[in-house]
């Protein structure tokens, strides 16, 4: 039968050990408790890592015998000593009694004599680690102290096991955060880090981006398909105070109506057939960041009502859930549709349109910023060659860029990107020494709309257009370089600042960044 004071000792000791989720704080409580029964001045919880081999401190309280996180390497003899002691509580009242305690003391710079009582923690014959109680004087611990300490074996073993698991969770969490940071940077790099035309065709758009990005206002991006709405949404996010948060995209037109609610707001386990586990929706995932609602004009009426409610209350419930969830999300919506006409036709809710239309930003179609085409072509050649791991960089054939600039571009930048990719593939499978001709842009009927007054073969006759064409050609030839012997200014025989002035006036990109 256990003695009554043993039961009380166990009870109070267990409360001290389990009193805090932080194992350091728990050991501090425990040290204060143990001091009522033994001359404990320090307590550490450590485990043996056979891979080092050495002991690693999990937590500590007292005079810093072994601060948390310390690793002390051990010799084979010292590891063998620990292994020989597993089934008992080791008392060492003189340093020479315990070679491991001596090694630890030397490691932390304690040169005075000391004594310790070491409790080995075991579960199912597996050595979890030790709890070591120490004092800075010799001969401090008795068999009775060892007996009392061993009464606390089980709560210490549970605490040790939880602390190790908790450390593992923190390690994995840090790894996930690191992966997340890496992937976010990769995504950012891949999805529009470079905005071609920001100083030329998109200058006004980018001015507005810089104005609105730091504010938390909603933005509505308008423009034909493929003009770069997502690229601009990215730029707003990465130039805002939310840039470290997530950028989550939803293509409202690509998700079946029956799945929209679950995609946007998430669902609880068992909310519907196939909901095997709880799932967070895109709103929840975008918490602290930006939610990009692409193709907002395709949102079905019922979903428009729910979206409006979330925008008004900033709260939603998961499908099948009752608990309201708050998400701090900035909304950027985009559409190639004329929302105003849709409102008139009653296919888009007027109140939602008002909500979204706080800061409308229209991205001009490519045909209205043709001066950006050479730089875009070079950018896509670079991008695609890199993606395709080409050992060489194809170059456009003479006259090809002019041909591209005469195209009407109904599919905008995306169409240009696809054409560049196709041309590189064609070039790769044919004669790689042939420059990229882009012959296809001139071919299909209706795609190329040459202005009647400017037949393609004659080229422009208006003086500015002729100069613009020539300067664009020179920029392509020199890779945007203005100064130096091989720069465009020297080739044209004019002063570099005069050339820069001309280029700016005509909206022609220059400089290394433009090519
Ligand atoms: N200014 C730009 N600089 C570099 N790349 C661009 C630019 N604008 C668009 N792109 C590229 O063109 C492609 C189409 O752009 P994006 O997806 O942003 O267009 P969108 O207007 O959102 O299209 P949709 O209306 O179909 O959703 C993307 O690969 C994008 O990276």
pLDDT (tens digit, 9 = 90+) per residue, 169-201? 988 998 888 888 777 777 766 665 689 998 889
Q: Name which residue leads in pLDDT, 270 or 396.
A: 396
Tokens 């601009």 correspond to what residue?
Answer: 232
- How does strand 247-251 pair with strand 290-294? parallel
What is the predicted pLDDT for the residue at 4?
Answer: 59
The residue whose CB lies within 8 Å of the most ligand 1 atoms, and thus the one to mutate among 192, 198, 371, is 192
CB 225 less than 6 A from any atom of ligand 1: yes
Q: How far is CA 3 from each of CA 6, 7, 10, rounded to the nearest angstrom?
A: 5, 7, 11
Say how far apart CA 375 and CA 388 lie, in whole Å: 20
Q: What is the pLDDT of residues 66-113, one digit of tens each?
A: 788 888 999 988 888 888 888 778 888 887 788 888 888 888 777 777
Q: Which two tokens stand for residue 371?
A: 């001066």
Q: Quick one: average pLDDT of 36-45?
A: 94
Domains in the chain with CATH codes: 4-167 (3.30.450.40), 191-364 (3.40.50.300), 367-514 (1.10.8.60)
CA of 507 to the centre of ligand 1 (A): 20
What average pLDDT score do residues 53-64 get?
A: 89
The answer to whether the CB of 416 is under 6 A from ligand 1 is no
Nearest CA owner, ligand 1 atom 29:
414
pLDDT band of 513, cuts 50, 70, 90? low
pLDDT digits (tens, 9 = 90+) for 64-73: 777 888 889 9
Q: Does residue 373 have a pLDDT over 80? A: yes
In the predicted model, is pLDDT for residue 283 greater than 80?
Answer: yes
Closest ligand 1 atom to the C-alpha of 192? 31
Specify the pLDDT at position 448: 40
Ligand 1 contact via 192 beta carbon (within 6 Å)? yes
Pocket flag, ligand 1, residue 197 (CB < 6 Å): yes
pLDDT over 90, % of the chain: 52
Q: Which atom of ligand 1 is nearest to the CA of 231?
A: 18
Task: Specify the residue with its C-alpha closest to ligand 1, atom 25.
Answer: 225
Rounded CA separation 298/348 (Å): 9
**How many angstroms separate the CA atoms of 91 and 139, rounded?**
10
**Distance of CA 334 from the midpoint of ligand 1 (Å):** 12
pLDDT digits (tens, 9 = 90+) for 394-429: 999 988 999 999 999 999 999 999 999 999 988 887
Q: How far is the CA of 376 from the centre of ligand 1 (A)?
A: 11
pLDDT at 114 (0 to 100): 82
| pLDDT on residue 461 | 53
Number of neighbours of residue 488 by Cβ within 10 angstroms: 25
User: What's the confidence (pLDDT) of residue 190?
Assistant: 64
Q: What is the mean pLDDT of residues 341-364?
A: 95
CA-to-CA separations, 97 to 72, 78, 88, 146, in angstroms, rounded = 19, 12, 15, 15
- Statement: residue 315 has pLDDT above 60: yes
What mean pLDDT is predicted for residues 465-489?
80
Q: What is the pLDDT of residues 207-263, one digit of tens each?
A: 999 999 999 999 999 999 999 999 999 999 999 999 989 999 999 999 998 889 999
Q: Is 199 in the pocket of ligand 1 (CB under 6 A)?
A: no
Ligand 1 pocket check: which of 230, 371, 374, 415 to mutate, most ligand atoms within 8 Å of Cβ? Answer: 230
* Residues whose CB falls within 8 Å of the CB of residue 169, separated by 6 or more in sequence, listed in order: none
Element spanning 166, H or E: helix 153-190
329 in Cβ contact with 282 (< 8 Å): no
Ligand 1 binding pocket includes 135 (Cβ within 6 Å): no
Atom of ligand 1 nearest to the CA of 234: 18
Q: What mean pLDDT, rounded, does the chain reach?
A: 87
For residues 85, 91, 93, 96, the Cα torsion angle rounded to the nearest 10 degrees is: 0
d(CA 227, ligand 1 centre) in Å: 5
Candidate of 209, 222, 231 to mutate for ligand 1, largest count of ligand atoms within 8 Å of Cβ = 231
More confident residue, 27 or 477: 27
Q: How far is the CA of 412 from the centre of ligand 1 (A)?
A: 8
Q: What local confidence, expressed as pLDDT, does residue 180 receive?
A: 80
pLDDT of residue 251: 94
Ligand 1 within 6 A of CB of 227: yes
Instruction: Name the band, by pLDDT with cuts 50, 70 and 90, for residue 58.
Output: very high
Examine the pLDDT at 316 and tell me if it is beyond 60: yes
Atom of ligand 1 nearest to the CA of 197: 1
Q: For ligand 1, atom 15, which residue shows the shortest CA distance?
A: 228
Report the candidate in 399, 409, 436, 403 with the shortest Cα–Cα distance to residue 420: 436
Pocket of ligand 1 contains residue 411 by CB under 6 Å: no
Query: Which ligand 1 atom is nearest residue 363's CA?
Result: 21
Nearest CA to ligand 1 atom 31: 192
Three-state DSSP string of 400-427: HHHHHHHCCCCCHHHHHHHHHHHHHHHH
110-156 pLDDT tens trace: 777 788 999 999 888 788 899 999 998 889 999 999 999 999 999 99
More confident residue, 432 or 151: 151
Torsion region of 314: left, alpha or beta (phi above 0 gives left; psi -120 to 50 gives alpha) = left
Whether the upstream peptide bond of residue 53 has omega within 30° of 0, thus cis, is yes
- For the chain, give the longest Cα–Cα distance: 111
Specify the pLDDT at position 192: 55
């Amino acid at each position: 039968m256990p003695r009554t004071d043993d039961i009380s000792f166990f009870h109070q000791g267990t409360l001290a050990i389990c009193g805090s989720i932080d194992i350091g704080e728990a050991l501090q409580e425990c040290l204060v408790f143990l001091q009522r029964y033994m001359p404990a001045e320090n307590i550490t919880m450590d485990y043996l890592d056979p891979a080092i081999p050495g002991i690693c401190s999990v937590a500590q309280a007292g005079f810093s015998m072994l601060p948390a996180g310390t690793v002390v390497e051990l010799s084979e003899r010292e590891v063998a000593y620990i292994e020989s002691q597993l089934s008992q509580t080791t008392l060492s009242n003189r340093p020479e009694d315990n070679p491991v305690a001596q090694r630890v003391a030397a490691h932390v710079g304690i040169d005075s004599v000391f004594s310790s009582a070491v409790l080995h923690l075991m579960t199912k014959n597996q050595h979890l680690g030790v709890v070591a109680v120490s004092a800075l004087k010799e001969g401090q611990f008795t068999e009775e102290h060892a007996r009392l300490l061993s009464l606390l074996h089980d709560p210490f073993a549970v605490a040790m096991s939880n602390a190790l698991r908790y450390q593992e969770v923190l390690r994995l969490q840090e790894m996930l955060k690191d992966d997340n940071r890496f992937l976010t940077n990769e995504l950012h790099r891949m999805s529009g880090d470079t905005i071609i035309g920001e100083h030329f065709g998109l200058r006004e758009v980018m001015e507005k981006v810089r104005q609105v990005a730091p504010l938390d206002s909603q933005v509505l991006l308008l423009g034909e398909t493929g003009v770069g709405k997502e690229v601009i949404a990215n730029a707003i996010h990465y130039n805002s105070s939310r840039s470290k948060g997530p950028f989550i995209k939803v293509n409202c037109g690509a998700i079946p109506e029956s799945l929209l609610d679950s995609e946007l707001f998430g669902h609880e386990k068992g909310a519907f057939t196939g909901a095997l586990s709880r799932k967070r929706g895109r709103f929840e995932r975008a918490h602290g960041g930006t939610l990009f609602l692409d193709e907002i004009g395709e949102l079905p009426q019922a979903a428009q009502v729910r979206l409006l409610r979330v925008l008004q209350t900033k709260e939603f419930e998961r499908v099948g859930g009752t608990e309201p969830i708050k998400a701090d999300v900035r909304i950027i919506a985009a559409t190639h549709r004329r929302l105003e006409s849709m409102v008139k036709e009653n296919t888009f809710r007027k109140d939602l349109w008002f909500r979204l239309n706080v800061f409308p930003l229209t991205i001009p179609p490519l045909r209205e910023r043709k001066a950006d085409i050479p730089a875009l072509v070079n950018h896509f050649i670079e991008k695609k060659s890199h993606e395709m791991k080409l050992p060489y960089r194809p170059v456009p054939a003479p006259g090809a860029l002019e041909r591209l600039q005469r195209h009407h571009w109904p599919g905008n930048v995306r169409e240009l990107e696809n054409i560049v990719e196709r041309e590189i593939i064609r070039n790769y499978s044919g004669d790689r020494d042939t420059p990229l001709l882009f012959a296809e842009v001139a071919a299909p009927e209706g795609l190329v709309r040459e202005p009647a007054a400017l037949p393609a073969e004659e080229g422009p006759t208006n003086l500015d257009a002729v100069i613009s064409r020539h300067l664009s050609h020179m920029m392509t030839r020199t890779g945007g370089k203005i100064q130096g012997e091989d720069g465009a200014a020297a080739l044209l025989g004019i002063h570099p600042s005069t050339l820069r002035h001309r280029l700016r006036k005509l909206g022609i990109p220059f400089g290394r960044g433009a090519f």
